[in-house]
Amino acid sequence: MPITYTSGEQVEVYRFSIPVTIGVPLLALFLQAFIPLRFPRFAVYVDLPLLVTIFFAISRRSPIAGLFTGAVIGLAQDMLGHNPIGIYGIAKTVVGYGASSLGVKLDVENAGARLLVTLAFYLLHSAVYFTIARGLVNMTQQWSWGHGILAALVNGVLGVFLYFLLDRFKQRT
């Protein structure tokens, strides 16, 4: 099992420079809006802002920083679309909080752990989004386990590669 339990003192906490903190989420949002023009299926299966949220939340290992990171990235993603602003914000706030809380307790630095964590948080994100969109905003939504799991796997695999790429920007505290 790749996930290992560690004490809080053993887990390393990272920080990021300001350009990376701002630039990486912005780049993820831009790619999320631009790539579907060439590859329409991209928006159906991939959520780059979510992957970035999970990465920053886990690396910082601070629940408050994680939830604020998720809230800001989610609200920015909401602004791209035409649905009410806040649906992605709430979903990513929950994911940011959850991922950073998990990061405090578990060592999720290896590829297997990252795949599982991303898969789980993608499903959590979809569930929260579905609940808010259907219950609060009254949008017509259909839950599909097949699509959800497939998309979670795609994001998980993509996340593993993306996290290794983003690891280069980590700075030890």
Instruction: State the DSSP code for 14.
Output: E
Closest contact distance (angstroms) between CB of 36 and another protein is 4
Choice between 118 and 126, CB closer to another protein: 126
Residue 35 identity (one-letter amino acid): I
138 sits in the region (left: phi over 0; alpha: psi -120 to 50; else beta) called left
Closest contact distance (angstroms) between CB of 79 and another protein is 10
Asked if 55 and 163 count as a contact pair (C-beta separation under 8 A), the reply is yes
Choice between 74 and 156, CB closer to another protein: 74
Within 76-142, strands assigned E span: 106-107
The crossing angle, in degrees rounded to 10, of helices 145-166 and 111-131 is 130
Closest contact distance (angstroms) between CB of 169 and another protein is 23
Residues that bind another protein (CB under 8 A): 29, 32-34, 36-37, 40, 43-44, 63-64, 67-68, 71, 75, 77, 80-90, 93-94, 97, 101, 129, 132-133, 136-142
Choice between 10 and 140, CB closer to another protein: 140
